[in-house]
């Protein structure tokens, strides 16, 4: 497959995303190919670990390839999207619980679906160019691919902040928030990969201290401003605070789907309160994405951002006041249609 290169080199199963011009956005076929490789290598003694990387310097993986989702959804065909998300979430769960080490090298943009394949393995490496984010609320989705698990486990109220604003994290920020483990300068990555291929031993990974990012200093403001029980309370806090941080956060939230932001906060809170697990995170995420085309803002978000590019989405609940019933409608159990992991 031209979009992905899967092979065994030495003691490592190697997966390289090869769509640099498309920022290595993940297609449905790429998702299935990664899962098939992981299934195959799980029982091969010759494969001691898995290494996932990507070509180009701009992105590890900028997200899922959403063109097909939009094309089918606008025709009233929601089955394709539901199948894609279900299969993608099954892969995310498999990577999270994989019995062998998975080493990911996350240069440039790692966003959305890229988090799903890059941030659930055992050894997640960032470098100076890394920018990690969950920007789904900006296109009418919620953070998914298991991302809400990381958000719910993040310090304080970082989950609500990062999930609703889509703020991009530098290397230190990504480590602090739980999206990455280790900082290694990118000019050292080829030598590190060679060592891992030769030895099959993750003890070869030796991290350094990354340049300081802003999140550690902002955590007190995050905890104070995002402590509200719902989107309305968070918006009120931001609107009545004159700090530059609050103004920036409010500007970012004002661009996203209010329904998505409200559901993001609800999902993160539910997971945190219950003790977050991957199964629970993917179940809640799928409840939303299953309904995202028919009931949510997803198709409108894609239209405004990708198709017409007018950057002027016509969101539901544009005032920011999202009724509890609207959140419940998006997140109530799917019964027989629930995601199967």
Catalytic positions are: 64, 113, 136, 144
- Dihedral angle, C-alpha 303, 304, 309, 312, nearest 10 °: 160
CA distance 268 to 153: 9
Query: Among residues 252, 236, 220, which one has the least CA distance to residue 156?
Result: 220
Dump the DSSP string for 53-111. Answer: EESSSSEEE--B--HHHHHHHTTT--HHHHHHHHHHHHHHHHHHT-SS-EEEEE-BEEE
Contact in structure between 53 and 105 (CB atoms under 8 Å): yes
CA distance 107 to 55: 9
- Dihedral angle, C-alpha 270, 273, 274, 275, nearest 10 °: 120
Contact in structure between 155 and 176 (CB atoms under 8 Å): yes
Please count the other Cβ atoms lying within 10 Å of the Cβ belonging to residue 26.
26
Question: Which tokens sit at 66?
Answer: 């959403």
Strand-pair partners of 5: 16
């Amino acid at each position: 497959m031209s979009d992905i290169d899967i092979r065994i080199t030495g003691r490592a199963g190697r997966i390289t995303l090869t769509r640099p011009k498309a920022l290595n956005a993940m297609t449905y076929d790429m998702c299935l190919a990664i899962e098939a490789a992981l299934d195959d290598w799980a029982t091969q003694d010759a494969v001691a670990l898995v290494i996932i990387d990507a070509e180009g310097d701009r992105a590890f993986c900028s997200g899922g390839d959403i063109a097909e989702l939009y094309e089918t959804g606008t025709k009233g065909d929601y089955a394709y999207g539901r199948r894609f998300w279900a299969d993608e979430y099954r892969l995310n769960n498999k990577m999270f619980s994989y019995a062998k080490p998975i080493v990911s090298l996350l240069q440039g943009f790692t966003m959305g679906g890229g988090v799903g394949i890059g941030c659930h393995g055992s050894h997640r490496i960032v470098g100076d160019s890394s920018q990690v984010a969950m920007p789904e609320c900006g296109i009418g989705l919620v953070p998914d691919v298991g991302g809400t698990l990381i958000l719910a486990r993040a310090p304080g109220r970082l989950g609500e902040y990062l999930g609703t604003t889509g703020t991009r994290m530098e290397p230190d920020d990504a480590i602090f928030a739980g999206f990455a483990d280790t900082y290694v300068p990118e000019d050292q990555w080829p030598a590190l990969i060679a060592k891992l291929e030769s030895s099959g031993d993750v003890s070869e990974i030796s991290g350094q201290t990354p340049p300081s990012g802003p999140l550690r200093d902002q955590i007190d403001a995050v905890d104070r401003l995002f402590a509200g029980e719902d989107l309305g309370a968070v918006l009120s806090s931001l609107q009545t605070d004159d700090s530059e941080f609050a103004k920036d956060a409010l500007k970012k939230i004002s661009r996203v789907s209010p329904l998505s932001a409200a559901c993001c906060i609800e999902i993160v809170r539910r997971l945190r309160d219950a003790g977050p697990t991957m199964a629970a995170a993917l179940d809640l995420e799928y409840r939303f994405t299953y309904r995202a085309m028919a009931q949510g803002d997803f198709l409108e978000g894609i239209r405004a951002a990708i198709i017409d590019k007018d950057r002027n989405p016509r969101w539901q609940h544009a005032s920011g006041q999202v009724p509890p019933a609207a959140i419940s409608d998006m997140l109530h159990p799917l019964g027989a249609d629930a995601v199967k992991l």
